[in-house]
């Protein structure tokens, strides 16, 4: 690999030339990216851009067809267990055991990481309280709401105090109050030196929370840097649409006019005195 393509071991995450194909479809096409330690990093892109595939290769869940992924100086696929110990990956709701209670699930996640049961239980209690789930701690996860399930999944990713948190759509289906609490916990985690990588479709959230952002399209990074650098003086969502394309003028649909029985609604006028006439 040429010197300018070598991964940077000083970064929390350093990816070079990552490639993955599924049949005839190239999902990730030579993707390269550096994520600084202590950053709150947003990974954004349209559906099918390659974000989740990249996350799966980065976190040891999916073997790449080519390229290098490095976590805090550890080559992920040369020593996948060492890399995984540094990462807290938030599982998707369908990847957890729904017949465990919330407390059991978080304790189980800690013990899978080699923690003694007592330590895992103490940490689980702290996390469950932080996520306002104490009243539901002994209820099976299958009876949780979508937002509660998201929170318990995040708790399982944090139980071992990882150096890097990798979160795929962490705020989806989460109510505003819980969302604010999660944000506070994540921001505090970053202030202690941790690194957060979130994949999200919500540009306003990324612009408000993240220090850095990368825009992924068709399996490649099309822009990366601080949020201000990528936005380039514009609203981040507008800049995102410019980078990925796909926006088109609204098509006129003749029958979609809001009128009754397919007839245009009558014009509404207002007299100087405020009387409405049709």
As a whole number of angstroms, the distance between CA 133 and CA 259 comes to 48
pLDDT at residue number 200: 86
pLDDT at residue number 61: 92
Specify the long-range contacts of residues 237-246, CB closer than 8 Å, at least 24 apart.
237/203, 237/204, 237/207, 240/44, 240/203, 240/215, 243/215, 243/217, 244/45, 244/46, 244/49, 244/215, 244/217, 245/217, 246/46
pLDDT at residue number 109: 96
pLDDT at residue number 172: 80
| Residues 149/105, Cβ–Cβ less than 8 Å | no
Q: What architecture (CATH level 2) is domain 3-86+162-251?
A: 3-Layer(aba) Sandwich (3.40)
| Residues 128/134, Cβ–Cβ less than 8 Å | yes
Side-chain-facing half-sphere of 95: CA atoms under 13 Å: 13
Nearest to 7, CA basis, from 51, 90, 67: 67
As a whole number of angstroms, the distance between CA 65 and CA 18 comes to 8
Cα radius of gyration rounded to whole Å, the chain? 23
Instruction: Convert the pLDDT of each residue in 156-178 to its tens digit.
Output: 999 999 999 999 888 887 888 88
Report the DSSP pairing between strands 87-89 and 74-75.
unpaired
As a whole number of angstroms, the distance between CA 272 and CA 205 comes to 44
Residue pointed to by tokens 């800690």: 110
Residues of the chain with pLDDT under 50: none
pLDDT at residue number 247: 67
pLDDT at residue number 253: 81
Instruction: Convert the pLDDT of each residue in 186-220 to its tens digit.
Output: 999 999 999 999 998 888 889 989 999 999 999 99
Q: Structure pTM?
A: 0.84
pLDDT at residue number 169: 84
| Residues 165/173, Cβ–Cβ less than 8 Å | no
Tokens of 202: 């919500």
| Residues 128/181, Cβ–Cβ less than 8 Å | no
């Amino acid at each position: 690999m040429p010197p300018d393509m070598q991964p940077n071991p000083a970064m929390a995450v350093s990816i070079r030339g990552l490639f993955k194909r599924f049949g005839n479809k190239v999902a990730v096409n030579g993707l390269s990216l550096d994520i600084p330690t202590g950053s709150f990093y947003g990974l954004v892109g349209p559906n099918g851009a390659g974000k989740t595939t990249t996350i799966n290769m980065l976190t040891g869940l999916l073997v790449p067809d080519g390229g290098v992924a490095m976590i805090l100086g550890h080559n992920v696929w040369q020593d996948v267990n060492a890399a995984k110990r540094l990462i807290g990956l938030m599982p998707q709701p369908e990847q957890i055991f729904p017949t465990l209670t919330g407390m059991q699930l978080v304790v189980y996640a800690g013990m899978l990481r080699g923690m003694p049961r007592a330590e895992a239980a103490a940490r689980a209690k702290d996390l469950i309280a932080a996520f306002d789930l104490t009243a539901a701690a002994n209820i099976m996860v299958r009876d949780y709401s979508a937002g509660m399930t998201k929170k318990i999944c995040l708790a399982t990713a944090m139980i071992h105090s990882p150096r890097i948190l990798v979160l795929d759509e962490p705020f989806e289906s989460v109510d505003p109050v819980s969302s604010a609490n999660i944000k506070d916990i994540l921001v505090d985690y970053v202030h202690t030196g941790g690194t957060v990588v979130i994949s999200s479709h919500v540009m306003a959230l990324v612009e408000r929370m993240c220090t850095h952002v990368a825009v992924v399209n068709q399996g490649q990074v099309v822009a990366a840097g601080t949020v201000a650098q990528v936005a380039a003086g514009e609203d981040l969502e507008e800049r995102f649409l410019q980078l990925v394309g796909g926006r088109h003028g609204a098509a006129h649909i003749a029958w979609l006019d809001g009128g009754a029985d397919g007839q245009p609604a009558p014009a509404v006028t207002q007299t100087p005195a405020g009387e409405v006439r049709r």
